[in-house]
Amino acid sequence: MLGILSFVGFTLLVALIAYLATRKTDETSSDGYFLGGRSLTAGVIAGSLLLTNLSTEQIVGLNGSAYTDGLSVMAWETLAAIAMVVTAVFLLPRYLKGGLTTIPQFLAKRFDVTTKTITSGLFLTGYVVVLLPVILYSGSVAISGMFNVPELLGVSDKTALVLCIWGIGVIGSIYAVFGGLKAVAVSDSINAVGLIVGGILIPIFGLMAIGDGNMFTGLDNLITSDAARFDSTGEAGQEVPFSTIFTGMMLVQLFYWGTNQQIIQRALGAKNLAEGQKGLLLASFLKILGPLILVLPGMIAYYYFDGGLASSDLAYPELVRAVLPKPLVGFFAAVLFGAILSSFNSVLNSSVTLFGIDIYKQHINKEAPEKTVVKYGKIFGICLALAAMFIAPMIANAGSLFNYLQEINGIYSIPIFTIIVVGYLTKRVPAIAAKIGIFSGSLLYIISQFILKGKFVDSALESAKASGITDSAALKLIEADAYPHFLHIMAILFVTNAAIMLLIGKFYPRKEAFELEYTKQVSIEPYKYVNHVGIAICVIVVGIYIYFAK
């Protein structure tokens, strides 16, 4: 009961503070609703970036991956810091110079309106079919596990999951649809503090639990029990083989932190370039600490439960329930609930932005006043949220949650990233090249991962079994080697699509070279230490990787 009271109390406190902080913001205008009035400072941007990212698809999914593969999955976290530095130094100055509200807006200026609309449609499809349902599902697994909702309500596991999905979905929709970006960002910043504190407490209590009350004894037990699990270089058959960090891994990170609307929208709302860069750099530094919250608990859970959990995605919620003192469970669940809402309402807010600016205003009602654009954006957001709530329960049998999310995202992430990179680095590649790049990238990836891969893997496994191989570990390695890792495929298709676009640009260049105009929406004077801090962060990341390499 104490846990439930602390959960409700902290959740209501965050909602009250968010309301008080945003009640005077003009949200009838596009900038006010979609970008918080272009008034966000470094601390708010950093907190919102971390909370948008550190939700349960990360906390539950990545700890589940660490439960299975050990420290090698830290690449998803540590390499993100380098991608954020690149975004701060290279991409953000160009975004703010162009006064962008959405990333596809740049594509309209660089290529044409049709390219922008196709890209917005791809983003929205990915959000409603993949990202929003995954956030709802993973969040529901966590909350249901921590509070033991099936036993509490006397219902089945499936019913408890559905109830949690709809509860999270409804509350998240209220934040995102009716509060706008500033309400999302303020609530994120408050929850960021709680999540970092609570997130660090979990491995501390976990190590104490496996070390007879002594954290350092627990860490020693964890390392000596299986030192190979502390190797930062993943092997074949694992989620992140070492070679992938030099190919598709960095492309995925750059897409996510540099071009993904749900993430970069926080930096687009910066009051000036210097604040945006400082926010990104602060978030990147804190991201280096990510493995303490997103990887170590999964490794502790493997030791604590002796690798005997029914599903790797249960590792985190079961560890929290097992080792965290009961009075703190409610507080941490409230913080985690805030993180769930953060990712859900961030994606939803970005979806509303994309629809309102890039589709409704562009194609449905070009003369619509800003108040009308915001109104219909909200209606679309409600429909999107409902669709996600219906789809979410279907993810229960998706396998490794985090791996599933990353692989499916490749359908739209790499094609979009390719045309943005080529768009900024060239001046005469035409619009037709961007359209071909998007469709060829998506189509080739679908053919590769959902048609060819299955045939290659099935053939390799049949040959192995015909040869008398039955050991599950050996079969897993054969399956991994039968077809290139999806991150390698992403890199191959990135190079292929870029080459196609450049060839088209060479033979059919646009008549006039593209020039990025300065809209003077905000100051683009950079943070004077951006390069120094960026280099320092990159050196730290490389050092950590080398230290843990076998």
pLDDT digits (tens, 9 = 90+) for 473-487: 777 777 778 889 899
Could you give the CA distance from residue 307 to residue 68 in angstroms, rounded to a whole number? Answer: 8
Q: Is the full-model pTM beyond 0.85?
A: no
Look at 59-63, 217-221, 432-436, 539-543 and tell me which has the smallest mean pLDDT.
59-63
SS3 523: strand
pLDDT, position 10: 61
Distance (Å) of CA 225 to CA 230, 319, 331: 11, 18, 32
The residue among 226, 221, 182 whose CA lies nearest residue 26 is 182
Extract the runs of DSSP E, i.e. beta strands, from 7-107: none
pLDDT of residue 32: 47
pLDDT of the residue at 23: 54
Output the six-digit token pair for 346.
């961030």
Q: Give the residue ranges of DSSP H helices in 211-272.
A: 215-225, 248-258, 261-268
- Is the model's pLDDT at 502 over the cut of 90? yes
Q: What is the DSSP string of 262-282?
A: HHHHHHHTBSBHHHHHHHHHH
The distance in angstroms from the start CA to the end CA of the chain is 47
Please, are residues 46 and 277 in contact by the beta-carbon 8 Å criterion?
A: no
- Per-residue pLDDT band for 175 (boundaries 50, 70, 90) equals low
DSSP-derived 3-state class of residue 40: strand
Residue that has been written with the tokens 């790049």 in this structure: 437
Q: Write down all domains in the chain, each with its CATH number in brackets.
A: 26-102+129-252+263-402+521-548 (1.20.1730.10)
- Of 404, 189, 198, the closest CA to residue 316 belongs to 198
Q: What is the DSSP string of 8-31?
A: HHHHHHHHHHHHHHHTTS--SSHH
The amino acid present at 395, given as its one-letter code, is I
| Average pLDDT of the residues in 100-124 | 85
What confidence tier does 255 reach under pLDDT thresholds 50, 70, 90?
A: very high
DSSP 234: B
If one compares 351 and 62, the residue with the highest pLDDT of the two is 62
- pLDDT tens track for 59-97: 888 898 899 899 999 998 899 999 999 999 999 999 988
Q: Which of 280, 256, 254 is nearest to 267 (CA)?
A: 280
Map residue 365 onto helix, strand or coil: coil
Residue type at position 173: S
**Residues in contact with 81: Cβ distance below 8 Å, sequence separation at least 6, in sequence order:** 284, 285, 287, 288, 537, 538, 540, 541
Within 10 Å of residue 159's Cβ, how many Cβ atoms?
A: 13
Average model confidence (pLDDT) for the chain?
A: 83
pLDDT tens digits along 373-430 = 777 877 888 888 888 888 888 776 655 566 677 788 888 889 999 999 999 899 999 9
Q: Please, what is the angle between helix 56-69 and helix 401-425, to 10°?
A: 110
Residue found under tokens 């660090």 = 200
Q: Hey, how many other C-beta atoms are within 10 angstroms of the C-beta on 478? A: 20
C-alpha span between 104 and 101 (Å, rounded)? 9
Does the pLDDT value for residue 20 go beyond 70? no
Q: Who's near 170: CB < 8 A, 6+ residues apart?
A: none
Q: What pLDDT does 384 receive?
A: 84
Structure tokens at 43: 């601390």
CA distance 44 to 112: 33
Distance CA 93, CA 297 (A): 37
Residues 6 or more apart from 545 whose CB is under 8 A from it? 78, 232
| CA–CA dist 103, 91 (Å, integer) | 11
pLDDT of residue 125: 83
Handedness of CA 188, 194, 200, 206 (dihedral sign): negative
**Cβ–Cβ under 8 Å, residues 388 and 132:** yes
pLDDT digits (tens, 9 = 90+) for 286-307: 899 889 889 999 999 999 999 8
Phi and psi torsions of 33, nearest 5°: -80, -45
pLDDT band at 34 (very low <50, low <70, confident <90, very high): very low
